[in-house]
Amino acid sequence: MLEVYEADQPETCLCGHYPIIELCVLLNRRNGARATVGNCCVKKFVGLPSDKIFQGIKRVRKDISQSLNAEAIQHAHERRWINEWEKDFYFSVMRKRRLTLKQRAKKLEINDRVLQRMKKQ
């Protein structure tokens, strides 16, 4: 999977399903072709956890102070949106109810960065 994002306008999946907002770009390693498909097709046919990534993103989009889930954090790290230290930091604070002011500020910064990167560029 090359990319996971939320589209600004509804798009159509390769299977013909419309409208879809949660999109995944897949790469065929044999011929280099790219395909943009909906979240449901990715989960159904490829078995990638795109639905969980989108769940975490939706939760944080509703309330920026909420925590991303492990799948969204891992996705952000694999895409180099966050570095190793930020990933480890996030995993260490994601279930805590009380954070220091510095911890909260860093978590909010990471949340904002991931939300921005999830939008179609």
Per-residue pLDDT of the chain (121 residues; tens, 9 = 90+): 677 888 889 999 888 889 999 888 888 889 988 888 888 888 777 777 788 988 999 999 999 999 999 999 999 999 899 999 999 999 999 999 999 999 999 999 999 999 999 876 5
DSSP reduced 3-state for 58: helix
Question: Per residue in 20-53, pLDDT tens?
Answer: 998 888 888 899 888 888 888 887 777 777 889 8
What pLDDT was estimated at residue 105? 98
Report the sign of the C-alpha dihedral through residues 84, 88, 89, 93, in that order. positive
What pLDDT was estimated at residue 120? 61
pTM of the model: 0.78
Residue 71 token pair = 């799948």
119 contact partners, CB below 8 Å, separation of at least 6: 5, 6, 8
